[in-house]
Amino acid sequence: MMPDSESTLCPVPQEQRPINEYEALKSAWILGWGALPLHRYGRKLGFFSLGAALLASPIAAASFPPAKYPLSFTLATLLGLGLALGLLVLRIFLGWFYIADRLRSERVIYEESGWYDGQTWPKPPEVLVRDRLIVQYQVSPILRRLGVTLGGVFALLVFAVGALALWAPDLSPGR
């Protein structure tokens, strides 16, 4: 079996090669959620949202007793859920954005043994074309999906904050 021409000519350590970082990200526990089929992605985010709502509801209940202020309690719970979900999806988005940037780049920045000896390796044309095709056909759709999800979460947060500002009872002391 002939050795891979990239592995014989590439000085970049295996774990720092963009293609290997991409494969590792796809199989990562939470960051890999972005690469899942749409129904599994939605199910994972749904279960996470359920857990976030269960954690946010006691905090919301401390400010808005559900029996006395059911709408404000629900909106505060949605706000907590939206914040947790937004942070999760943002983290996943940033991981995929980083990989897209590494794959798209003409040079690979890497470290041989530590932070003090950074090097760069110019990608050969065939590696650059392969990496950019991966970005175009594999990573960009994931980034679009995550961007749409972030937009939805942002809309949820704007709705929850706006509705709370309009409908929340005045809880200031002395009133």
Q: What is the pLDDT of residue 167?
A: 85
Percentage of residues of the chain with pLDDT beyond 90: 79
Amino acid making up residue 83: L
**Calculated CA dihedral for residues 108, 113, 114, 119, nearest 10 degrees:** -30
pLDDT in tens, 70-92: 999 999 999 999 999 999 999 99
Mean confidence (pLDDT) of the chain: 91
**Terminal CA-CA length for the chain:** 81
Question: What is the model's pTM?
Answer: 0.88
Query: 119-163: per-residue pLDDT in tens?
Result: 899 999 999 999 999 999 999 999 999 999 999 999 999 999 999
Q: What's the confidence (pLDDT) of residue 9?
A: 79
Task: Find how far residue 2's CA is from the centre of its chain.
Answer: 38
Identify the pLDDT of residue 171: 59
Q: What single-letter amino acid sits at 80?
A: G
